[in-house]
Amino acid sequence: MESQQQSSDPSSHNPDSVAALHRQLASYGLELPSDQMELLDKYRDLLWNWNQQLNLTRHTTLEKFVGRDVVDSLQIGKLLQQRERVLDIGTGGGVPGLILAICRPDLQVSVCESTQKKARAVQAMVQELGLAVHVYACRAEEVLELQTFDTLTARGVAAMAKILAWLEPYWGAFDRLLLVKGQRWVDERGEARHRGLLRKLQLRKTSTYPTPETNAESVILSIQEKPTALDD
């Protein structure tokens, strides 16, 4: 996949922006090693530059980048074991996939994005950042036909019922799905149950944390197949 990146050169990155990122992370009680901090800021810079050409993110302030993108990604990272094989489905501009690859370099991260222009942008960012991330320019179902993973992640891709319907034939290719959801997750769970999509699955709320600038909360839901003995 060819790189068509037209953003500023990350090698000439402004150290003041790294310091600003450090302060913003600290305001959320977060701290990262200096090398990860610099790489994360390079990613933010690339993402925002690409966003001038493509609709990759609405989080175009440092507070939203940290409070939403980084916080969500680090919350997912807490749930992942060492060296897990992770596929971020519908990665968009690379969240949480690229942030996981930066902050958890032990993971084997892949991302997929079916919109070709977005996939090319993500591939270009991966190359600029020197990340060992495989970018699939296709739907998750096509990837799961060929590869297996420990965990799938998804944020802002679609309603729970739609995602579960897409993935229903492919549970043999991965162990669990981690979904980042907002306050409507209970309604989405109800719809999925009504459609019978959770009959053979078990769903647990594994993380709850406040959504910045609102009174709402974000959750991470872990969904996996029920043990055979518990199937309906």
pLDDT digits (tens, 9 = 90+) for 47-73: 999 999 998 999 999 999 999 999 999
The rounded distance, in Å, linking the Cα atoms of 138 and 76 is 23
Q: Looking at residue 13, what is its pLDDT?
A: 59
Domain assignment present for 91? yes
Domain assignment present for 4? no
Region of poorest pLDDT, from 160-164, 175-179, 208-212, 220-224 = 208-212
Q: Looking at residue 66, what is its pLDDT?
A: 95
**Number of domains present in the structure of the chain:** 1
Identify the CATH number of the domain in which residue 134 sits. 3.40.50.150
Domain assignment present for 127? yes
Domain assignment present for 198? yes
Q: Looking at residue 215, what is its pLDDT?
A: 72
The rounded distance, in Å, linking the Cα atoms of 53 and 63 is 22
Q: What is the mean pLDDT of residues 202-224?
A: 91
Domain assignment present for 39? yes
Distance from first CA to last CA of the chain, Å, rounded?
Answer: 45
Q: Which of 65, 57, 79 is nearest to 27 (CA)?
A: 65
Instruction: Provide DSSP, 162-231.
Output: HHHHHHGGGGGGEEEEEEEE-TTHHHHHHHHHHTTTTTTEEEEEEEEEEPTTSS-EEEEEEEEEPPGGG-
Burial class (CB in 10 A: 0-12, 13-18, 19+), 217: middle
DSSP 31: -
Q: Looking at residue 229, what is its pLDDT?
A: 57
Instruction: Provide DSSP, 80-127.
Output: PPTT-EEEEET-TTTTTHHHHHHH-TTSEEEEE-SSHHHHHHHHHHHH
Domain assignment present for 10? no
Give per-residue pLDDT as tens, 3-24.
333 344 444 457 789 999 999 9
Q: Looking at residue 131, what is its pLDDT?
A: 98
Which residues, 6+ apart, have CB-to-CB distance to 66 below 8 Å? 21, 24, 25, 27, 28, 30
With pLDDT > 90 as the criterion, what percentage of the chain qualifies? 86
H or E element, residue 13: none
User: In the structure, what pLDDT confidence band is assigned to residue 228 with cuts at 50, 70 and 90?
Assistant: confident
Q: Which of 90, 60, 54, 88 is nearest to 73 (CA)?
A: 88
Domain assignment present for 9? no
Domain assignment present for 2? no
pTM, two decimal places: 0.91
Q: What is the mean pLDDT of the chain?
A: 92
Over 50: is that where the pLDDT of 81 sits? Answer: yes
Structural domain range at position 191: 15-230
